[in-house]
Each structure stands twice: as C-alpha cells, then as structure tokens.
Amino acid sequence: MEPEVVIVGAGAAGIAAARRLQQRGRDILLVEAMRRVGGRAHTETVQHLPLDLGCGWLHSAERNPLADFARAQGTVIDRSSAAWRNQLRNLGFSTADQRAAERAYEEFEQRLHSEAADDCAGNAIARDHPWRPYLDMISGALNGAELDRVSARDLLAYDDSASELNWRLPGGYGTLIAGAAAALPLRLGTKVTAIDDSGPRVAIDTDKGRIKADAAIVAVPTDVLARGDIAFTPTLDDHVHAAACLPLGRVDKLFLAIERPEAIPPETHLLGDPRNARTGSYYLRPFGWPVIECFFGGIAARAMEEAGDAGRVAFAIEELGTLLGRDFAAGLHPIAGSWWHREPTIGGAYSHALPGHASKRAILAAPAGERLHFAGEACSRHDFSTAHGAWQSGIDAADRVEALLNTSPSP
C-alpha cells in the first residue's frame, strides 16, 4: 500500500489531520497502535452511561473548533456552567477558606506574571504557604504535575489564552472524536516502529510491514517520542529532546455508582481536602446521572497509582464518607476508571513543560524536513493539554503537508 500521506496515531490530532487531507482529496492512511481510535479521548459506556475516561470538557468553548464540529454534526452540547468552583454546602471548606484559597491563587498568578525571569512556577508561592497544597492540587488538574515541575511561561501561555467557558457533551467527548474517524482509511493494532525520511519516498515501518508515502504526520504522545519507540532516519535529536522536556503528567478518573443518588443534588462538586494536594476532586451526579466522577491529578494521581485499584476506590470512598456521611459512602461502587500511564502507547495524561523548557513546544511542532510533520496536543502553543489543541495541531500539520504536495507532485 502506497498512500500519499501516512498519519501515525489516531487520537484527536491524527484524526483531524486525516480528515483535513481526505477532504482535500488526498489518498491517506491513518495508522494506530491500539485496537480503537480516539487515544486520550475515550468514552466507555457502562450501565448505559457514556463515561469519559479522558477528555470531557470543551474548554474555551466559544473558540473551540471541536464545539463547531459537534454543532455541525448535530451533537447535543450541554452549555451549563461547570460546578468545579463550588463546594457543596461548603462541606469541609468554609466560605472564608474558599476566599483565602482563591486570593492565594490570584496572588500566585500575579507573581507568575511579574517574576518572569524565574521559570519555575513553584517559586511563585512560598513552600510553607498555607494554601500551597491547594495550588499544587490545581496544578495537578491543569498540568498533571505539581508546580515545582512546571514552567511558569508555559503555564501562563495556557492561562492567558483560555476562557472561562466550558461545555460538555452528554453523549461523550470520546464518542465525538472517535466518530470523526468513521470514514477514514485506518489500520488499527498496527504499531509504527521506524520512519526513514532519507530515501525517494518516506518509509514507515510497522510491526505489520512497511508502508511508503510522500509525507508523514506523526501524532503520538510526547512520552512515546521521548522513549524512542519510533526510530527516525535521519535521527531527530531536537524533536526527541523537546518531547522529553514536555512530559505527560498524571491525571486519572474513577467513576463510582451511587446507590442513593437522591441523597445529593445533581451537578454539584466537592473537593476532598482543600489543605492537602493528595486529594480528589469529586463531580457529583454529572448530567443528573447516578454517579460520582472522581478526578485525581499530579501528586494525588501518583498517590493513587501507588494505592492501586482497590486502594484508590477506598481512598475516594473515605474522603466522600468524611464529607457526606458513612451511610451514603457505603452505597458507592466503582464502575469504571482510567490508568493512563499504563497504556503502552500513550503513557500519561497531558503534557506540561518542565521549568525552562516552554520554548520546546515550537521545536516539537516544527516540521523535520519537508515531508515529516508533527502534531498532537503538546505541539499547540497555548491550547496544549487539550483535545481541541490536539485537533487544531492536526489541521495545521495537514495544511503544511497539503502545501508541500501542491508544490511537488508525487513521483
């Protein structure tokens, strides 16, 4: 098989790139190591509920290209406000403490802007500040890592461009993105092991044989590139090093079914322990469903990895029991959960730049020669870590390839 363009990785970025080129009439092939499409966009239907184990929110919704895509598909969009900022009945988190924690975050943001010379986000708040654990918890959700592991410039690049408008898809964000691949030529369960850009055509070696193409778009997670899973000829030291400086953080979800859902109001939220970074964020009854979505990021996610399946469930039930009562907590049962770092061809949640390395996103996103291009959430300048950032990076890479193919007809 000799398509014009091979796209490696069928996550949001790879699917967007493949669709764009297919719409331009190009002969393409999307190659994916897993036995499903979507990558970190993955909806699992359990007890008739479409649960998003990866992305769930259309962030910066007013300018989110996937919101436009969802609308065009006729997909139902939920535009109600997110409940994250509210603590149900102020349980375990008094209004005075909520205000103090918010003030600490605002001061932290101001210091990030004013102390730009120091690129470690963790240095913008004292280590013994009473709300430091709260800020590390927020960093865990935003970056998948604590502040000491995050570039201040990178964090600001996201923060300054993201809006407060966040929408959801009751049918699942993963459903939307996987559905976008429905009409694409696809090879599932096929792992790319090497890409040789030195010959007359680009040679893409997979565990099922060689494919040749006029160009390739590599849309795999940074940890996969940094590990050297794909051997490049000529070697691409700058890209591989950039990927290593943009590691995937840790974020995981656990869904608990509720025996007595009427005991808690729908669309509400609880933070387990606002004074501890090793805590869960609990979205109660999203869409009114009889479930709690437990979210662990950064320090908390790593603690849950150590705790394992049963330990994570016990931890969440303990925190929820402390706030909502032991009787209520006794009626909670796990029905689904993610361990993204265990997925061999993904390796984590989303990318953050290590201190001093915000500029690596531009290096990763730059083409490696005329025929070899990169896409994926980590390539986005300010929408990294998101599904729409990944999607847009795929479109951008496809447009660069299209420009190349237009100027140099295939041999």
Ligand X SMILES: Cc1cc2nc3c(=O)[nH]c(=O)nc-3n(C[C@H](O)[C@H](O)[C@H](O)COP(=O)(O)OP(=O)(O)OC[C@H]3O[C@@H](n4cnc5c(N)ncnc54)[C@H](O)[C@@H]3O)c2cc1C
Binding site for ligand X (CB under 6 A): 8-14, 31-34, 39-41, 54-57, 59, 191-192, 219-221, 224, 229-230, 251-253, 338, 340, 345-346, 349-350, 376-377, 385-388, 390
What does 211-262 look like in DSSP terms, one character per residue? EEESEEEE---HHHHHTTSSEEES--HHHHHHHHTS-B--EEEEEEEES-GG
Cis amide bond preceding 234, omega within 30: yes
CA dihedral 291, 297, 299, 301 (to 10 degrees): 50
| Burial (0-12, 13-18, 19+ Cβ within 10 Å), 156 | middle
CA atoms of 78 and 89, how far apart (whole Å) = 24
CA atoms of 235 and 228, how far apart (whole Å) = 10
CA atoms of 390 and 222, how far apart (whole Å) = 12
Helix (H, G, I), strand (E, B) or coil at 401: helix
CB 16 within 8 A of CB 391: yes
CB 141 within 8 A of CB 281: yes
CA atoms of 40 and 122, how far apart (whole Å) = 27
CB 177 within 8 A of CB 21: no
CB 216 within 8 A of CB 195: yes
Q: Which residue has the tokens 């696809």?
A: 186
CA atoms of 382 and 155, how far apart (whole Å) = 9
What does 285-303 look like in DSSP terms, one character per residue? SGGG-SEEEEEEETHHHHH
Residue 46 corresponds to which tokens in the numbers above?
């359990």
Side chain identity, residue 342: R
Taking Cα atoms as reference points, which of 252, 253, 268, 286 lies closest to residue 324?
Answer: 268
**DSSP character at residue 151:** B
CB 13 within 8 A of CB 40: no
Taking Cα atoms as reference points, which of 338, 360, 397, 383 lies closest to residue 13?
Answer: 397
The residue among 225 and 258 lying less far from ligand X, judged by its C-beta, is: 225
